[in-house]
Chain A
Amino acid sequence: MQPKILAKNVNVAYGDRQTLFGIDLEIAPQKVTALIGPSGCGKTTFLRCLNRMNDLIPTCKVEGTITLDGQDIYDKSVDVEVLRRRIGMVFQKANPFPKSIYENVAYGPRIHGLAKTKADLDAIVEKSLRRAGLWDEVHDRLDSQGTGLSGGQQQRLCIARAIAIEPEVILMDEPCSALDPIATAKIEELMNELKQRYTIVIVTHSMQQAARVSDTTAFFHLGYLVETGATADMFTNPQDERTEAYITGRIG
């Protein structure tokens, strides 16, 4: 199967400090790929390279190639706005806009001109909230503030906002790190549904979460991609001793 995203020999440095060394990774379509590893191992940095959010940091330098459907995303001809329209992102801390729930979801479709009429936009908002599993909880108060929801609801609102523009890939940067187990369970359940349509890359601290939701797992350590493989194999039969040490809790 053709990989959705293919990273080849990716090196990343912030100024003089190199944080990623020669990363080679394939991300399969319609699958959940989990990036795990101890804090500071470069997994978030790698994730942010995939939709070029690192462009915002002036000192950040990315070398190597990353392709989306065979097309180099760091090519000069690539427009980052188009790229980010195809690769959406959900952040570690839920960051809804301080606007109404409706406006939060409608913003993306509006700036990209995805809805011609108000009815179209309403339909997109409803569909996105339904897919994010939030519709039943908020359909009667779409005008209230997105920031007034609970933490888990806010994070699902951010997921609804991300899928409203129909991306092909969703990057999730530790989406559950600030949530309680029930809200976490809801989001994990959601990920299982979302992978029918979208390719999902998730960074997580929790190995249990990676084991529960992902099809493929990649283990990062100190800037190197140590091991990658099917999640089930990785957790039962790690090839590298560092992976084994991490998943058994001896490092991290």
Chain B
Amino acid sequence: MTDTNKTSLTRESLPGLNRRYRAERRFHLVGKMAVAFSLAFLTFLIGSIVYQGIGAFFQTEVRLEVPQEMIAEHGDDGFTLLRQSMLHNLPDAKGRSARREAYKMAGEGSDIELLSAIADQQTQAAVVTVWIPVSDDIDMAYKSDFAPDMLGSFSDRQKGWLDTWVADDRLRMSFNTGFLVNGDSRDPERAGIGGALMGSIFTLVVCLVLSFVIGILAAIYLEEFAPKNKLTAFLEVNINNLATVPSIIFGLLGLAVFLNTFGLPRSSALVGGMVLSLMTLPTIIIASRVALQSVPPSIREAALGLGATHIQAVFHHVLPLALPGMLTGTILGMARALGETAPLLMIGMVAFIADPPSSFMDPTSALPVQVYLWADSPERAFAEKTSGAIIVLLLFLFVMNLTAIILRKKLEKKW
């Protein structure tokens, strides 16, 4: 030890102080690095998903000129009308193979858009101008600005046609509403997440209603009213264990009980929600009990001291104070349920379902399952759709969390 100068107030006058300050600075640096690292990782993840998926919200369209007499001739047959207008708009489409290549330039099912576009215009002009979606290959090529590796699937003749379309300024990008409203499809240009989104909403509504009501009532009973004996302790341990059970086990349980024993409709949002609520119940019960425990006992005593019954004290005073905490737990559980795929696979929600559900009993898909299905599809355009679906899933989560935060703030302000 060096001698300490008792009259000095500088840092050097106290031996070892420099070392302590260095340790503190080191700790700050490590902490900042950890935060920066996780932020960078998150930015990279979201950035790459948005970069890949933003295209799914846009669709390339081509301008077609359809003569009035062609509409008069084939107006009731969209399929033929589309083929005829493609031939009309592509020069030198002579011969069988040229015709087939010409037909392939239009998107699968664009005949519906063609007919509705013509009907919308209601013009008697000699030539009607309409915009219809192009095939997914052209869509991807156009979005990549005709990168060479995107052109592999085209013939020289198609490449020539594409060049004339670009030269004539016949291609444009438009917002793809179909992606948000359509159900699933084998054709990437027609496939949308509308069905999966509705399915996820229906499933979450069932899950929320069941797990919130049952979870909170169970938590209140266990925390406030249940006698503290071995049976309660046993239940407590089991609820804690349930929270760690792999989710696919709950799917198997749903398959065995809800589908096979009760005979509820397969692939339906009702069964999906019930299975997910099994999974979220333990989370909600545990979070709600913690929220109840954190209410100071003096509030309970104050109400009881005034001659309130136990149930009045709980519902008038304890529950309102615990509710924000309970909501947090519920939202955490819901967020986990929204992203859960495995249990839904077990109860048949992985099936190919083209139409959005209109009730809780209809067969449906769900967002994460849709991501899983599309990620498995061979078409190049589905890669974009997969990222697009992930964006919608993340936005959904964001909206849910925001709602919870607003709700919590509101409830806290009231008290």
Contacts and interface: CB of A to CB of B under 8 A. Distances in A.
Given A58-B227, A95-B298, A99-B415, A53 B317 contact: no
Nearest to B308: A111
Interface in B261-312: 296, 298-299, 301-309, 312
Contact of B302 (A58, A158, A165): A158
Given A58-B227, A97-B317, A99-B415, A111 B304 contact: no
A86 to B, nearest CB: 8
Contacts of A81: 307-309
B235 to A, nearest CB: 17
Interface in B303-331: 303-309, 312, 316-317, 321
A97 B299 contact: yes
A89 B300 CA distance: 13
A59 to B, nearest CB: 9
Given A58-B227, A58-B228, A107-B316, A95 B302 contact: yes
Interface in A67-110: 81-85, 88-89, 91, 93, 95-99, 107-108
Contacts of A11: none
B227 A111 contact: no
Contact of B306 (A93, A98, A161): A161
A217 interface: no
A84 to B, nearest CB: 4
Given A58-B227, A97-B317, A98-B415, A108 B306 contact: yes
Contacts of A111: 306-308, 312, 316
Contact of A108 (B301, B307, B415): B307
A170 to B, nearest CB: 10
Q: Which of the listed residues A51, A85, A108 has the most CB atoms from chain B within 10 Å of its own CB?
A: A108
A162 B306 contact: yes
Given A95-B299, A98-B415, A53 B308 contact: no
A174 to B, nearest CB: 13
Interface string B29-66: 00000000000000000000000000000000000000
Contact of A91 (B228, B302, B307): B302
B305 to A, nearest CB: 4
B307 A82 contact: yes
B355 to A, nearest CB: 50
A139 interface: no
A56 B317 CA distance: 17
A107 B317 CA distance: 11
Contact of B305 (A58, A84, A93, A112): A84
Contacts of B317: 97
B302 A84 contact: no
A40 B317 CA distance: 30
Contacts of A83: 307
Interface string A226-250: 0000000000000000000000000
Contacts of A98: 299, 321, 415
Interface residues of B, number: 19
A95 B301 contact: yes
Nearest to A58: B228
A84 B304 contact: yes
Interface residues of A, number: 26
A53 B312 CA distance: 16
A85 B228 CA distance: 28
A111 B316 CA distance: 10
Contacts of B304: 53, 56, 84
A214 B304 CA distance: 27
A157 to B, nearest CB: 11
A85 B303 CA distance: 11
Contacts of B306: 84-85, 88, 107-108, 111, 161-162, 165
A88 B305 contact: yes
A247 B415 CA distance: 44
Contacts of A162: 305-306
B315 to A, nearest CB: 11
B321 to A, nearest CB: 7
A51 B299 contact: no
Contacts of A97: 299, 302-303, 317
A112 B307 contact: yes
A91 B228 CA distance: 26
A146 to B, nearest CB: 11
Nearest to B305: A89
A53 B301 contact: yes
A28 B168 CA distance: 106
Contacts of A91: 298, 301-302, 305
A198 B257 CA distance: 63
Interface string A40-53: 00000000000101
B316 to A, nearest CB: 7
A240 to B, nearest CB: 33
B296 to A, nearest CB: 8
A231 to B, nearest CB: 26
Most chain A beta carbons < 10 A, residue from B301, B306, B321: B306
A81 B303 CA distance: 11
Given A58-B228, A98-B415, A93 B298 contact: yes
B192 to A, nearest CB: 48
B338 to A, nearest CB: 33
A89 to B, nearest CB: 4
Interface of A: 51, 53, 56, 58, 81-85, 88-89, 91, 93, 95-99, 107-108, 111-112, 158, 161-162, 165
13 contacts: A51-B305, A53-B301, A53-B304, A56-B301, A56-B304, A85-B306, A97-B299, A97-B302, A98-B321, A108-B307, A161-B302, A165-B306, A165-B307
Interface of B: 227-228, 296, 298-299, 301-309, 312, 316-317, 321, 415
8 nearest interchain CB pairs? A95-B298, A85-B307, A89-B305, A84-B307, A108-B306, A95-B302, A98-B415, A81-B307
Given A158-B302, A165-B307, 7 more contacts: A81-B307, A84-B304, A96-B302, A107-B303, A107-B306, A107-B308, A107-B316
